[in-house]
Amino acid sequence: MKIAVCVKHVPDSRVRIDAGSKRLDRSGAGELNKFDTNAVEEALRVKERLGEGDVVVVSMGPEGAADTVRAALALGADRGVLVSDPGAIGSDLLATSRVLAKVLEREQPDLILFGQQASDGAGAVLWAAVAERLGVPSVSQATELVVEGGRARVTRQTERGDDVVEAPLPLAVAVSDAINDPRYASLKGVMAAKRKPLETLSLADLGVDAAQAGEAGSKTVVLGIAPPPARSGARRVEEGDAAQAIVDFLAERQLV
């Protein structure tokens, strides 16, 4: 059983938008997207339950993303593949899914896991585009995953309750952060990760044309950034009889 886990290197909490390029500034320190630790954890659990398997971490990102891949290896994944190429900067959903699909075509995993969203871009849609390119089914918001006999049974959370979906492998699954409590990396894990194989690929290595990645391969653009309109007439109550102030507000708005 080969399990691929797609993980993203995200800027740490102090994310900002670069005024010049109008893109998220990814120059600062980064980290493994928190939601992707749930995907790594689930991959390890599937492997542990089956008693065999190869867990490969796949990421596209800046050079610094190697640390993020190592962080996933420290949790117990077996090896990593990082696509890092200046030509990939500014990739949108279309371009990113194209590049990741290329890596996954090479790897031919039985199961492809994603986190539920990237904490920076928060599209929460990438898996569906990758799965479409690979011609495999995808299931998102998974809160339970059982892999058995070449099939998967996935419980997913929707707005109206839980759905249970079954599909043959290969399959792409985006896990909810409710699916598990990810383990922490042990010191031993961190040490072991340093010796695990990590392959770094360029777009050329993957046979992806420059026009197919980065801004050139993208079909969405950021045009400008503005402060959001403030909610007009907001009122604040910090002291005095707060309950009375609420009653007055409700009366004024004819809500009581």
Partner 1 sequence: MSAVVFLEHDGGELHKAPLGVLARAADLFGSADAVVVGSQATALAAEAGRFGAAVVHVADDPALDPALPAPRVDVLETVVRQGGYDTVLFSNSVLAADVAAGLAARLEAGLNWDLVDLEQRDGELVGKRPALGDSVLVDVGWRGTPRLALFRPGSFDAVETGGVAEVRPVAAALAPHSTRAILVDHRHQPDEGPKLEDAEVIVSGGMGLGAPEHFALAEELASVLGGVVGATRAAVYAGWYPASAQIGQTGKTVSPRLYVALGISGAVQHKVGMQGSKAVVAVNKDPNAPIFEFSDLAVVGDVHVIVPRLVELLRARKGS
Ligand X SMILES: Nc1ncnc2c1ncn2[C@@H]1O[C@H](COP(=O)(O)O)[C@@H](O)[C@H]1O
Ligand Y SMILES: Cc1cc2nc3c(=O)[nH]c(=O)nc-3n(C[C@H](O)[C@H](O)[C@H](O)COP(=O)(O)OP(=O)(O)OC[C@H]3O[C@@H](n4cnc5c(N)ncnc54)[C@H](O)[C@@H]3O)c2cc1C
Site for ligand X in 122-141 (CB under 6 A): 122-126
Q: How far apart are CA 196 and CA 88, in angstroms?
A: 25
Comparing CB distances to ligand X, the nearer of 53 and 80 is 80
Comparing CB distances to ligand Y, the nearer of 33 and 116 is 116
3 with 56: CB under 8 angstroms?
yes
Tell me: does residue 118 bind ligand X (CB under 6 A): yes
3-state DSSP assignment of residue 188: helix
State the Rg of the chain over Cα.
22
Q: Residue 201 CB, nearest distance to ligand X (Å)? A: 12
Start-to-end CA distance of the chain, whole Å, equals 62
Tell me: does residue 116 bind ligand Y (CB under 6 A): yes
Comparing CB distances to ligand X, the nearer of 61 and 137 is 61
Q: What is the DSSP letter of 97?
A: H
Tell me: does residue 37 bind ligand Y (CB under 6 A): no
User: Nearest-CB residue to ligand X?
Assistant: 115
Q: Which does 60 bind (CB under 5 to 8 A by kind): ligand Y, partner 1, ligand X, none?
A: ligand X
171 with 33: CB under 8 angstroms?
no
Comparing CB distances to partner 1, the nearer of 187 and 230 is 230
**150-169: contacts with ligand X (CB under 6 A):** none
Comparing CB distances to ligand X, the nearer of 90 and 121 is 121
Helices within 51-182 (DSSP H only) = 65-75, 93-107, 126-134
Q: Residue 85 CB, nearest distance to ligand X (Å)? A: 12
User: x/- site string to partner 1, residues 128 to 157, per CB under 8 A?
Assistant: xxxxxx-xxxxxxx-----------x--xx
User: Considering only residues 68, 117, 140, 212, which one is a binding residue for ligand Y as defined by CB under 6 A?
Assistant: 117
User: Considering only residues 15, 66, 190, 198, which one is a binding residue for partner 1 as defined by CB under 8 A?
Assistant: 15
57 with 32: CB under 8 angstroms?
no
* Torsion over CA: 31, 176, 107, 212 (sign): negative
Q: 238 phi and psi, to 5 degrees?
A: -110, -25
Q: How far apart are CA 14 and CA 17, in angstroms?
A: 10
Q: How far apart are CA 131 and CA 4, in angstroms?
A: 13
Quickly tell me which residue has 């007439």 as its tokens: 233
Quickly tell me which residue has 């690979």 as its tokens: 134
Answer left, alpha or beta for residue 150, where phi above 0 means left and psi between -120 and 50 means alpha: left
Tell me: does residue 55 bind ligand X (CB under 6 A): no
**79-138: contacts with partner 1 (CB under 8 A):** 92-94, 97, 122-133, 135-138
User: Considering only residues 3, 39, 46, 173, which one is a binding residue for ligand X as defined by CB under 6 A?
Assistant: 39
Contact residues: ligand Y, CB under 6 A:
116-117, 177
Contact residues: ligand X, CB under 6 A:
6-8, 33, 35-36, 39, 58-61, 96, 100, 114-115, 117-118, 121-126
